[in-house]
Amino acid sequence: MKRPKVPPKLTQYQLIEELDARLRSIRVALVGIFLIILVGLVYFARDFLLPVVLAFLLALTLSPIVRFMQKRRVAPPISALFIVLVVLSIFCTSIFFLSGPVTEWVSQAPEISRKIQHKLAVLKSPVNAVVTASEQVGNIAESASAPDVQKVVIQQPGMLSIAAASAVGGLTTAAVTFVLLLFLLSSGTMFYQKLIGILPTFGDKKRALTIAYDVERDVSRYLLTISLINCGFGAAVAIAMALAGMPNPALWGVAAVLLNFVPYIGALGGIVMVGIVALISFESVGQAVIPPLLYAGCAIVEGQFITPILLGRRLELNSVAIFICVALWSWLWGIIGAIIAVPLLVTIKVFCDHFESLR
């Protein structure tokens, strides 16, 4: 009778390697579980986290202005109140001037739909065949069903109720954002004092303060620069739309400013929307092609020449990382998440660049 083979005894070095491999597997699993929980928390806590993140990004952008005014003997609460009032006035003025065109578009939605159907009448013949076939199948199924079966129709909320709910939620988010921004800017260097107060050694305090100021400076420079670039891009788009004869050119300028915060996807979405409205607004197809071409020309000049020259390569990001980040934050927080996705990515990158292990 053969004896069962006994596995050879592992040496101490092999045991250490096996234990280290198991610990790495456990660490990876824990990190994965933590990321899943974190994504779920960010998704379900959107109403709370969105104004907080917006306020911190605005505070990073505007803090150097408060510090500059503090060196001129202006107290941080006074300068913070002045800056928040200026930003709030710009926000309210933009909403006031854009509410008219947006309301007009919503009221003309049925007419716009009819115009689109009229313009695309050439493509309707193959679609009508499919629709007719599906209607025939539906009639057969309906005739085969029992006459005494009760049909239940679920009533969906109307467009006005959805718009009203979105407006109330947007105003609440804006109010919380501006109030928190006022508190953050008024605090001045309080957070930095708390940070260096909890660190043990002088070297750690100095390094933490250096990192905090570098992150604030780089992120503020990026956000201010990209905001100015987008405002210039929006002005160029508004002028181009006015020259092309598009309705509401100011609305297209503001839309271009917001969409341009979303790399690649924002410019493509703006071109598509301009093309659809141009197809409705103009009689000939040749005339309707001019506005999207002008929009695309402005986007190419901004993306290939202006932004690389003004920002340089220090804050250059990987295209795949940008696309994944925009897709993730769009899924989590909608259009606002898509707009703040790249500023958040830049903030994380600048912070990680100061640590050798995170670069």
CA 177 to chain centre: 16
Give me the mean pLDDT over the 182-191 stretch.
83
Q: Is the pLDDT of residue 144 over 50?
A: no
Burial class (CB in 10 A: 0-12, 13-18, 19+), 52: middle
User: Could you give the CA distance from residue 47 to residue 49 in angstroms, rounded to a whole number?
Assistant: 6
User: Could you give the CA distance from residue 1 to residue 202 in angstroms, rounded to a whole number?
Assistant: 73
CB 340 within 8 A of CB 227: no
User: Could you give the CA distance from residue 62 to residue 49 in angstroms, rounded to a whole number?
Assistant: 20
Instruction: Dump pLDDT digits (tens) for 27-48.
Output: 889 989 998 999 899 999 988 9
Residue whose entry in the numeric block shows the structure tokens 């987008």: 230
Q: Is the pLDDT of residue 309 over 90?
A: no
Q: Is the pLDDT of residue 156 over 60?
A: no
Domain boundaries, the chain: 45-101+167-188, 201-359
pLDDT of residue 324: 87
User: Could you give the CA distance from residue 213 to residue 152 in angstroms, rounded to a whole number?
Assistant: 62
Three-state helix/strand/coil letters over 92-126:
HHHHHHHHHHHHHHHHCHHHHHHHHHHHCHHHHHH
CB 241 within 8 A of CB 291: yes
Number of Cβ within 10 Å of residue 167's Cβ equals 12
Q: Is the pLDDT of residue 228 over 60?
A: yes
CB 231 within 8 A of CB 225: no
Two structure tokens written together for 284: 């000939």
Q: Is the pLDDT of residue 182 over 80?
A: yes
